[in-house]
């Protein structure tokens, strides 16, 4: 998704005509090969979402479709039975949405405030606070399972979407704080000094000066958190069950559903439903993501 920022030196356009053709063929050939390799799972899943079940069973997963039907999408969305619940993935899709949107908004908001406070205000042990918060970035999720189970139980929010919002918000703050703090460090301190002399306090400086400078890093945080939380699977599976699960955990429940007969076509459509939002976010926001990671706050 990265856009070409400047015209880089192009080694493929140098040398003799024959050499140019040869080297370009090799480079483009390799790139096409790997692109196809990475795209193939998506393509195969997509095709199978249109194929009748007996055809898949008869001819295997990887095969050209003979007859195609749109009906599996509708079935996957609203009537398919997962773990004894016959509402399709729509219910779980909504669960994930209700989990991802608040957790993304909250963790990004806290990250912005934390990053601002940690980069622009000096207080006792600020370096320690920053170190401890960002330790979360390097802590494996498995290690946090037991403590979270304890906390969620104590708060009485086990097996609720609200509980997952809490977990993802707190876990995400490590990342958003790190991102925002590193971005805000580049904002000149003189701006804050000038604002303090002008009579602005902590929050006014945040709203009027820092936040307007934040769109690039805000987009980075939102994309990172949204795709990360949407695709997350471990917390969802461990802390929720049945109709309270997010879509990623529900899809896993396919394998355990019913009598063992697998509906590959409906499952394929469900998987695509689950993957669509992060995919769209990346397709439409990806270039801002790359831009945000590489841009400074003030030109």
Q: Which residues bind other proteins (CB under 8 A)?
A: 188, 190-191, 193-200, 204, 208-209, 212-213, 298-299
Nearer to other proteins, 215 or 242 (CB): 215
Nearer to other proteins, 5 or 298 (CB): 298
Nearer to other proteins, 200 or 293 (CB): 200
- Other C-beta atoms closer than 10 Å to the C-beta of 3 total 7
Nearer to other proteins, 24 or 193 (CB): 193
Q: How far is the CB of 285 from other proteins (least distance, A)?
A: 22
Q: How far is the CB of 195 from other proteins (least distance, A)?
A: 7
Q: How far is the CB of 289 from other proteins (least distance, A)?
A: 21
Write the CA distances from 281 to 156, 232, 253, integer angstroms: 33, 16, 26
- Taking phi over 0 as left and psi of -120 to 50 as alpha, with beta for the rest, 15 belongs to left
Nearer to other proteins, 124 or 154 (CB): 124
Is residue 221 a contact partner of residue 269, using CB atoms and an 8 Å limit?
A: no
Q: How far is the CB of 123 from other proteins (least distance, A)?
A: 13
Nearer to other proteins, 205 or 269 (CB): 205
Q: How far is the CB of 288 from other proteins (least distance, A)?
A: 18
Write the CA distances from 42 to 14, 37, 220, 271, 272, integer angstroms: 37, 10, 25, 10, 8
Q: How far is the CB of 190 from other proteins (least distance, A)?
A: 4
List, in order, residues 6 or more apart from 198 with CB less than 8 Å away. none
d(CA 56, CA 265): 8
- Other C-beta atoms closer than 10 Å to the C-beta of 65 total 14
In the structure encoding, which two tokens stand for residue 120, read together? 């622009």
Q: How far is the CB of 299 from other proteins (least distance, A)?
A: 6
Is residue 268 a contact partner of residue 45, using CB atoms and an 8 Å limit?
A: yes
d(CA 135, CA 220): 20
Q: How far is the CB of 192 from other proteins (least distance, A)?
A: 9
Nearer to other proteins, 153 or 188 (CB): 188
Nearest Cα residue to 113 out of 188, 217, 197, 226: 217
**Phi, psi for 60 (deg, rounded to 5):** 90, 170
Nearer to other proteins, 118 or 205 (CB): 205
d(CA 179, CA 32): 34
């Amino acid at each position: 998704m990265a856009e070409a920022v400047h015209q880089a030196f192009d080694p493929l356009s140098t040398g003799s005509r024959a050499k140019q053709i040869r080297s370009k063929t090799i480079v483009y050939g390799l790139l096409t090969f790997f692109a196809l390799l990475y795209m193939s799972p998506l393509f195969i899943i997509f095709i199978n979402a249109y194929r009748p079940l007996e055809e898949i069973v008869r001819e295997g997963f990887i095969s050209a479709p003979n007859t195609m039907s749109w009906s599996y999408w509708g079935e996957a969305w609203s009537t398919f039975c997962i773990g004894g619940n016959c509402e399709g993935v729509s219910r779980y899709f909504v669960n994930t949405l209700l989990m991802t949107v608040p957790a993304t908004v909250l963790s990004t908001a806290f990250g912005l405030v934390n990053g601002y406070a940690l980069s622009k205000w000096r207080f006792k042990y600020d370096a320690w606070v920053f170190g401890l918060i960002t330790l979360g970035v390097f802590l494996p999720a498995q290690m946090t399972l037991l403590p979270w189970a304890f906390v969620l139980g104590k708060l009485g929010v086990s097996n609720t979407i609200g509980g997952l919002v809490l977990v993802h918000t707190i876990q995400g703050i490590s990342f958003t704080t790190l991102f925002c703090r590193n971005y805000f460090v580049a904002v000149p301190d003189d701006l804050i000094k000038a604002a303090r002399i002008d009579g602005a306090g902590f929050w006014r400086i945040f709203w009027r000066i820092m936040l307007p400078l934040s769109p690039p890093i805000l987009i980075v945080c939102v994309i990172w958190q949204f795709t990360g939380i949407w695709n997350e699977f471990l917390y969802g599976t461990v802390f929720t069950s049945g109709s309270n699960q997010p879509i990623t955990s529900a899809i896993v429940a396919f394998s355990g559903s019913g009598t063992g007969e697998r509906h590959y076509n409906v499952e394929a459509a469900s998987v695509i439903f689950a993957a669509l939002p992060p995919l769209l976010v990346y397709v439409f926001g990806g270039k801002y993501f790359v831009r945000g990671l590489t841009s400074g706050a003030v030109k």
